[in-house]
Amino acid sequence: MSAAEAGEGSWTVERHLEGKPEQSVAMFHRFVELVAACGPYEVSPSKSSVTFKGARRGFAGARPTASGLKVYLDLQRALESPRVRSVSPYTARLFVHHLTLTSLDELDDELAGWIAEAYAVGGGAHLER
């Protein structure tokens, strides 16, 4: 049975990378490096994206596209940046941020800082008073 025939439960990182341009794949791998620099995590691929999970919850996701990388980050604050495509309240203490990255250069120190903030959420930082 092919991955397509197996349905939703068969989504893998490899399936997300399949057929994507070399730059998009490189961007995804760089995103994974930035997440890994924060500490241990788990990966949970689904049809919509590859979610990165900390000890308490998912905190980020990425999906390679034909033109780059779509990313989301769960943060305890709403970022105001031209790089952020949209920000929505997710819970009373969390905001989900969507970014569309089109260049490997965009996976920079600023993004790494946001990923580190999201990683803290994955560990439960949003639950502390």
Question: Is the pLDDT score of 108 beyond 60?
Answer: yes
- The angle, 0 to 180 degrees and rounded to 10, between the axes of the packed helices 22-36 and 109-122 is 60
Domain boundaries, the chain: 3-123
pLDDT above 90 for 61: yes
Asked if residues 119 and 54 have their Cβ atoms less than 8 Å apart, the reply is yes
User: Which CATH number applies to 3-123?
Assistant: 3.90.1150
Taking 50 as the threshold, does the pLDDT of residue 103 lie above it? Answer: yes
Percent of the chain with pLDDT over 90: 85
- C-beta separation of 59 from 73 below 8 A: yes
Q: How far apart are CA 76 and CA 34, in angstroms?
A: 19
* Local confidence band at 6 (pLDDT 50, 70, 90 cut-offs): very low
Token look-up 């994974």 returns 32
pTM higher than 0.85 for the full model? yes
